[in-house]
């Protein structure tokens, strides 16, 4: 990857789904460049990276690019929100539910989001998620009243082992 930067083919080095250990190991073998971004899953309902990875990236100037910031669809956020907190917060902030969910992600230091949208209307709506700040009491409501998942080290390790196993099987086919 450093060779690609030297040749001017890419400007910066970014990675995806790297743990803190992966980032440390990868950075250690880079002679000149530093890792500038890590693309990971993060949303109102999937907050595993708050267990340490988010803080490590913030401390080391690594931009967190959150994928699935709408939990792959608003229906999945609704399922974790039986009290309808997101709708209430969206009404109070005069924004849409998607805009609030995205704004919550990008309000974190050094975090940006890459929602997928397949209609112009959704793209336009999602663009409107930036350029404003949710009031503290509304943000607190989202954080305290919505259900979310934060995987522990054992579960993270097990998932990585399964993914690694699948990749190995793929290579042998």
Ligand X SMILES: NC(=O)c1ccc[n+]([C@@H]2O[C@H](COP(=O)([O-])OP(=O)(O)OC[C@H]3O[C@@H](n4cnc5c(N)ncnc54)[C@H](OP(=O)(O)O)[C@@H]3O)[C@@H](O)[C@H]2O)c1
Q: Are 156 and 53 in contact (CB under 8 A)?
A: no
Count CB neighbours of 98 within 10 A. 21
Give the position of tokens 């890590």.
38
Who's near 47: CB < 8 A, 6+ residues apart? 148, 149, 150
Q: Which of 126, 141, 142, 146 binds ligand X (CB under 6 A)?
A: 126
Binder among 31, 32, 94, 118 for ligand X (CB under 6 A)? 118
Residue 63 CB, shortest distance to ligand X, in Å, is: 14
Rounded CA-CA distance 166/171 in Å is 9
- Binding status of residue 119 toward ligand X by CB under 6 A: yes
Which position among 1, 20, 26, 117 is part of the footprint of ligand X (CB under 6 A)? Answer: 117
The mark string for 50-79 relative to ligand X (x by CB under 6 A, - otherwise) is -----------------xxxxxxxx-----
Binding footprint of ligand X on the chain (CB under 6 A): 16-17, 39, 67-74, 98, 114-119, 122, 125-126
């Amino acid at each position: 990857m450093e060779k690609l930067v030297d040749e001017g083919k890419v400007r910066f080095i970014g990675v995806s789904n790297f743990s803190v250990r992966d980032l440390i190991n990868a950075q250690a073998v880079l002679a000149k460049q530093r890792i500038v971004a890590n693309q990971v899953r993060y949303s109102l309902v999937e907050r595993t990276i708050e267990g340490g990875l988010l803080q490590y990236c913030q401390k080391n100037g690594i931009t967190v690019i959150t994928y699935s910031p709408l939990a792959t669809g608003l229906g999945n956020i609704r399922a974790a929100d039986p009290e309808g907190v997101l709708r209430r917060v969206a009404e109070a902030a005069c924004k849409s539910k998607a805009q609030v969910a995205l704004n919550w992600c990008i309000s974190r230091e050094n975090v940006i989001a890459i929602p997928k949208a397949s209609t112009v209307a959704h793209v336009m709506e999602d663009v409107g998620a930036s350029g404003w700040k949710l009031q503290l009491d509304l943000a607190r409501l989202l954080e305290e009243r919505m259900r979310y998942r934060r995987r522990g080290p054992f579960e993270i390790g097990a998932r990585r082992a399964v993914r690694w196993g699948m990749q190995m099987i793929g290579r042998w086919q």
